[in-house]
Amino acid sequence: MCMKMLQNVKISRFLAISVLSTIALFSGVASAQDSGLVVDKIIGKVDNYIVLKSELEMAYQSYLTEGNPATEDARCELFNRLILNKLMVAKAEIDSVVVTDVEVDGNTDQRMQMILQSSGNSPEQLERTYGKTLEQIKLELRDQIREQLLSREMTSRITKDISVTPSEIKRFYNKIPADSLPFYSSDVEVAQLVRVAKVSNSQKEEAKRKLTDLREQILKGENFNQLAVKNSEDPSAQYNGGEMGYVGRGAMVPQFEAVAFKLKFGEISQPFESSFGFHILQLIDRRGNEYNSRHILISAVPSAEDIANSEKYLDSLRTMIVKDSIKFEKAAKEYSDDQATKGGGGFFTDQDGGTKISMRDIDPVVYLNIDTMKVGNISKPLVYRTDDGKDAVRILYFKKKLPPHQANLKDDWSRIQSAALAEKKDLALEKWFSKARQDVFINVDPAYNGCKLLE
């Protein structure tokens, strides 16, 4: 088991709701419909919760897409995890474990946005492709997400107190035969210090002017939802016309919520700013601490001068670092605008939290930049777009490059620690499964008896 975990093939990761797996599932259904073949059927049941063959096959395809080898053992392990997830959902129901509608709806909206963005299709094209309305797709997706969140909550409760000590990590490592230790390609340690371009007042005024014009059009009788579809920069507007649905306090950013609770029914706000940009908002309904609203979002875009100012700022900071007036790590913690990396001194981390990143896994844009740098150097300011679409500038610090090597405790401590912890959690889940299965009805298609799921 040690070797299996250390190879970083953590099957459970492929069952998380992701853009890839969601689109793969929809694509698989569409392909089956297009070919005229009925391929789906129930292959597992835990109380009232079912596992479809399409779920297993799409999870397996997603797993293969990550570069993993095609084996029946992997397929069986994926099926095992799907059954375990359904068992967790069934037990959550028995044990009265719940997730809030706000959390489910928020995750569903995010996933719908990602599907629309990643597929490159318009809402109308998606509906034609899958033979369903966006609302039907959303409802099916909502059920999947609710189950995933319940499963995650149960997993968290079962494993929350599990940790590994240094001695356990060493024992885990020492149990692996020397000739079975995985071989890692070149690893690098790279950090960044980011400055998001500050939008000038003139650009902000332009965004507010656009929203003021849209507000006047609505007041004169134009349809709010249609204008949201056409003009809003909130991706969800493409399928909800800007309508956010009922949410409770704390679900939206403070600026949005404050305006929503000040408005009267049907009233449309003046343009206001939040961390996402500028909005106009209309209150549709309010019931207690919940409200339904619609909005149009316009993001103020930095000008070329705004971006140039960020470059100058980072160039000055880079000069201080090169002169050793301040260490890169300290500068990143104090001045970087990237919340994901600044806490760790600007360093990129892998999925286990380690700072050594495989050259195969590093962001392609970062790779192209460090490929021309010497170890120990700091790049000139580089203009780029953040993951959430903001114009920004960064400097990169190429701290270290490790040659290809076999796993060892000195260079790969975080990887081995993660594998040891994963094994310990898996054992706890297996123990829980053995006990919890007595509380539910489980049935598996005989075609999958070879997977020995219930042994």
Do 81 and 10 lie in one domain? The reply is yes
Given 252, 275, 298, the domain boundary residue is: 298
Please tell me the predicted confidence (pLDDT) of residue 207: 94
Same domain, 292 and 338: no
Same domain, 319 and 397: yes
Domain with 53, as residue range(s), is 2-175+413-451
pLDDT score, position 39: 57
393 and 420 both lie in a single domain: no
Residue 142 lies in a domain: yes
312 and 264 housed in the same domain: no
Q: Do 358 and 392 sit in the same domain of this protein?
A: yes
Please report the pLDDT score of residue 11 as a whole number. 41
Judge if 246 and 383 occupy the same domain: no
In a domain, 180, yes or no: no
Regarding whether 432 and 396 lie in a shared domain, the answer is no
Distance separating alpha carbons of residues 340 and 317, to the nearest angstrom: 20
pLDDT confidence of residue 120 = 61
Same domain, 13 and 117: yes
CATH code where residue 94 lies: 1.10.4030.10
Residue 207 and residue 231 share a domain: yes
Q: What's the pLDDT at 284?
A: 95
Grouped pLDDT means (10 residues each) for the chain, 455 residues: 45 41 46 47 92 88 82 89 90 89 83 72 73 82 89 91 95 92 90 94 93 96 95 87 86 91 94 93 91 93 92 96 96 95 94 85 91 94 89 96 91 90 90 88 90 72
Provide the CA 126 distance to its chain's centre, in angstroms: 22
pLDDT (0 to 100) of residue 450:
86
Q: Are residues 248 and 340 in the same domain?
A: no
341 within domain boundaries: yes
Q: Does any domain span residue 181?
A: no
Assess if residue 408 is contained within a domain: no
Residue finishing a domain among 241, 273, 298: 298
Let me know whether 122 and 40 are in one domain.
Answer: yes
Count the domains in the chain: 3
Q: What pLDDT, on a 0 to 100 scale, did the predictor assign at position 58?
A: 85
> At 191, which CATH number?
3.10.50.40
Final residue in a domain of this structure, among 253, 280, 298: 298
